Structures are given as C-alpha cells and as structure tokens.
Amino acid sequence: MPRAGATNSRHDRDDARTRRAPVRIDVEELGKSYGDFAALDNISLTVRPGELLALLGPSGSGKTTLLRAIAGLTATEEGIIRFDGEDATSLSLRERRVGFVFQQYALFRHMTVFDNVAFGLRVRPRDERPRTGEIARRVRRLLELVQLQGLETRFPSQISGGQRQRVALARALAIEPTVLLLDEPFGALDAKVRKELRSWLRELHTETGLTTIFVTHDQEEALELADRVVIMRAGRIEQIGTPAEIYDEPATPYVCEFLGGVARFDCTAKDGEAEILGGLFPVGNGDGDYSGPALAYVRAHEIEVVSREQAEGVPAVIRAVRPFGPAITVELSIEGHHDRIEVSVPRELYDGGEIAVGQGIFVRAMSARIFPKD
Ligand SMILES: Nc1ncnc2c1ncn2[C@@H]1O[C@H](COP(=O)(O)OP(=O)(O)OP(=O)(O)O)[C@@H](O)[C@H]1O
C-alpha cells in the first residue's frame, strides 16, 4: 500500500505532529448480565498501546458484548474500563473518542462516499468543527488511506461490499479516534474479499498505529491478522496469547477443538506422561505428575507415516486420499479409535505408489498435546 498522503508532504508532517501516542486499555473484572445470564463473567484484560487484538470465539461467547462495553455502547454492572489509566467506564462512545465499525456497513444510503466519511466531522460542535476546506482535505486523505480515491461522488449502492466496509473504516477514522473497534468487519463479505481485506487491514493498522480490537469467529483471520488473540468461551477468557502461542501451546482442550484441524484421542496418563500413536508425550506443560484418564490432541502434520520395520508405529488403514496440493492428505482409520484421522504425507510416498485406498500403513505421532480429562 502506498504511503498515504505521499503527495502532500506538508500535511503529512502536520498529521505526524498532531498524532497522539496510542492508547492502552485496561479491562478490570468486567461483568455484564442479562437477567440470570452472565454474558461477561469477570473479564480482565490489557490491550497494549498500538496493539492489534482479536477477540475470537464461537457465537454467543461474549465477543460483541465485550467490544461494545469497551466502546461505551453497552453499560456494564461490574468492573472498570480504563483508557490510558483513566476510568472511562461511565463515558459515552463519543467521550471515549472510539472509532467503531459494525459488521453490516452502517453507511448512510442517501449520502455519497465523501459525505459519509465527512459526517463525523460535520456534526461536531461548532467550536470543534474543522473548516470546510480542512474537512475536504481530511476526507481525501482518508480515502487515499483506504484506497478509494475517485469514488467520492458514488453512493453506497454504487460500490462493492468490500468498498463499503472500507468507507465505514474511513468514516470511523475521520473523527481521529483514540482506539478503533471493529465488530466482525468482514463478516458479511465472501471468502475471497475477506482475505483481501485481511492484509489490507493489517497494513492500515501499521499505517495508523492505533490500538485496534476486532471481533471474529474465524480462527484463521484472527491468527493471521492479530498481534495477540483472546479466545472467549461463555463470557470468560479461555486463553490470551500471540498467534504462535495459541497455536503451539493451546491452554485447554476447548482451545484445541476450537482451532480445529486436530484428531482427539482418549488415553491414559501415567506419572505425567501419556502414550499416543506410538509416541510418549508430557501432560500439560510437563511439570505435573498426573496419572489417570487424559485427552490427546494431534494435528495432521504431526503424524508421520513410518515403515513397517519401525517398532513404534501403530497400524492404520487408508480410507481416502486427497491427492492435491504440496502435501497429500490421507484419511486413516486406526483400530480402537472410532473417528477417522487426517494425516499429511509427502508427495514422494504417493508418487511411489505406497498410498492407496484400502492399503495398510504404520503411523506415529511426532508431537501431541495432552490434558487431564476432567
Ligand atoms: N440485549 C440482550 N439481551 C439478552 N441477551 C443478550 C443480549 N445481548 C446479548 N445477549 C446474550 O449474551 C451472549 C453473548 O452475546 P454476544 O453478542 O456478545 O456474543 P458473540 O460472541 O459476539 O456472538 P456472535 O458471534 O454470534 O455475535 C449471548 O448468549 C447473547 O444471546
């Protein structure tokens, strides 16, 4: 993406001078109930200045409620929300200077793209309202930032869904928000446009440097985009971590299953270790001596096909082969395990004729995550 405003260096310097340091958000023991139902249950969380944070979880886990509470759109009964250490809990959206983008592009249909973006500036009280020329300059700069130059005079019905969502972002940015909050910003768009907008949002975030929180139920989107991911479950935080931490060290069975792409096995742990698919792995983070029933999670690429001579492998039968892509995906059935498991095998094995439906092979897990079974 070209540097926004590259054609206007004096204004760029002005903008840089007036740009504030990114805001830190502290959420402390936040609670929100609807009747007896706890939509948010004792949530504590720090969003670092300038961070791009994803709230990830299934439908109903409380992501939107948390985002709206941080925005000042939903009142909470318990807890405190601080912006840069200042208690913001009772401030409105406008007082918090939050830029908010809804899932369904809430653009004014009777207004042009230009007027939609200018709206937040024009409705300011007279003494805070920029002059007409200044508004026009800012709107043009924002449309450059979201790469929509030339569409100023179009109406929302005359642009694509992805473009509308970028107008919504420009409009949220127009008020020079302290933080940017996005509620499933690409939720209503098709998969291809979503992917395009993903990398675009990452670049926009680098460009603006704003503390940004976005809600998604798409794990790939969260892991690909965010600096850190918050995994939510039934109004609580299940795990917070970088995408690598969440992926490599999922804290609970729930996180493993939510991320998907894993095979689950029942097994038995002894003295802090459990054997699964021919490998011996530590329970949890490895510092316990748990013995008893356990759950093991293994990803497709963590299972290798081994030759018959190797003692550690377990026998499996090939049930289906998906021979496309850099690795071949094979579905296996393993005795004593009712679900089929997926394994990635190198192309060479397939090309060598060793991979065919009905054939018996041996497999071994190279790594696994083991949890005590509650
Ligand atoms: N105004 C309301 N009245 C009653 N219950 C509500 C209200 N708003 C939300 N809830 C409930 O609170 C829970 C959390 O809702 P929330 O919208 O935060 O979930 P979410 O994780 O964002 O889900 P989704 O991905 O479907 O948007 C849900 O069970 C929902 O039914």
Let me know whether 151 and 52 are in one domain.
Answer: yes
In a domain, 159, yes or no: yes
Report how far ligand 1's centroid is from the alpha carbon of 62 (Å): 6
* Rounded distance from Cα 146 to ligand 1 centre (Å): 30
* 39 CA → ligand 1 middle, Å: 7
Q: Give the Å distance between the CA of 40 and the centre of ligand 1.
A: 10
Residues 31, 33, 38, 44: what is their CA dihedral angle, to the nearest 10 degrees?
A: -10
**What is the enclosing helix (H) or strand (E) of 326?**
none
DSSP secondary structure code for residue 126 in this structure:
G
pLDDT given at position 203: 87
Contact in structure between 24 and 47 (CB atoms under 8 Å): yes
Please, are residues 85 and 168 in contact by the beta-carbon 8 Å criterion? no
pLDDT on residue 124: 82
- Distance in Å, CA 234 to ligand 1 centroid: 10
- Are residue 305 and residue 242 in the same domain, yes or no? no
**Nearest-5° Cα angle at 88, 83 to 89:** 130
Alpha-carbon distance 19 to 151, whole Å?
27
Sign of CA pseudo-dihedral 238, 101, 224, 194? positive
324 lines ligand 1 (CB under 6 A): no
229: nearest Cα among 8, 217, 239, 186:
239
pTM: 0.86
Residue 220 lies in a domain: yes
Assess if residue 234 is contained within a domain. yes
Q: In this predicted complex, what is the ipTM?
A: 0.94
Q: Are residues 236 and 351 in the same domain?
A: no
Residue 139 in any domain: the answer is yes
Query: Would 46 be classed as within a structural domain?
Result: yes
Asked if the structure places residue 257 within a domain, the reply is no
Integer Cα distance of 287 and 306 in angstroms: 30
The answer to whether residues 183 and 58 belong to one domain is yes
Q: How many helices (H) and strands (E) does the chain have?
A: 11, 20
C-alpha 39/C-alpha 71 separation (Å) is: 16
Q: How many domains does the chain have?
A: 2
From first to last of its 374 residues, what are the pLDDT tens digits of the chain?
A: 444 444 444 444 444 444 678 999 999 999 999 999 999 999 999 999 999 999 999 999 999 999 999 999 999 999 999 999 999 999 988 889 899 998 876 789 999 999 999 998 888 888 888 888 999 999 998 898 888 889 999 999 999 888 898 899 899 988 889 899 999 988 777 888 788 888 888 988 998 899 999 999 899 999 999 999 999 999 999 999 999 999 999 999 999 999 988 899 999 999 999 999 989 999 986 667 889 999 999 998 899 888 766 667 889 999 999 988 777 889 999 887 878 898 888 888 788 777 889 988 889 999 999 999 87
Last residue of a domain, one of 192, 214, 248: 248
CATH of the domain at 282: 2.40.50.140
Whole-number pLDDT of residue 287: 64
Tell me, what's the pLDDT at 194? 82
Task: Report pLDDT for 350.
Answer: 81
Predicted confidence at residue 310, as pLDDT, reads 63
Q: Is 65 in the pocket of ligand 1 (CB under 6 A)?
A: yes
Residue located nearest, by CA, to atom 8 of ligand 1: 65
Q: Do both 185 and 217 map to the same domain?
A: yes
Beta strands in 3-51 (DSSP E): 25-34, 37-47
Residue 159 structural domain:
9-248
Domain co-membership, 53 together with 190: yes
Same domain, 64 and 133: yes
**Ligand 1 pocket, 61 CB below 6 A?**
yes
DSSP secondary structure letter of residue 266: E
Is 227 found in the same domain as 274? Answer: no
Length of the chain: 374
For residues 286 and 171, state if they share a domain: no
Residue 284 and residue 230 share a domain: no
- Residues 199, 168 share a domain: yes
Looking up residue 27, the CATH number of its domain turns out to be 3.40.50.300
* Any domain includes 256: no
Of 248, 275, 307, the residue that ends a domain is: 248
**Secondary structure, 3-state, 111-123:** CCHHHHHHHHHHC
Residue 254 falls inside a structural domain: no
Residues 189 and 310 in one domain: no
Q: Rounded to whole angstroms, how far apart are CA atoms 203 and 60?
A: 30
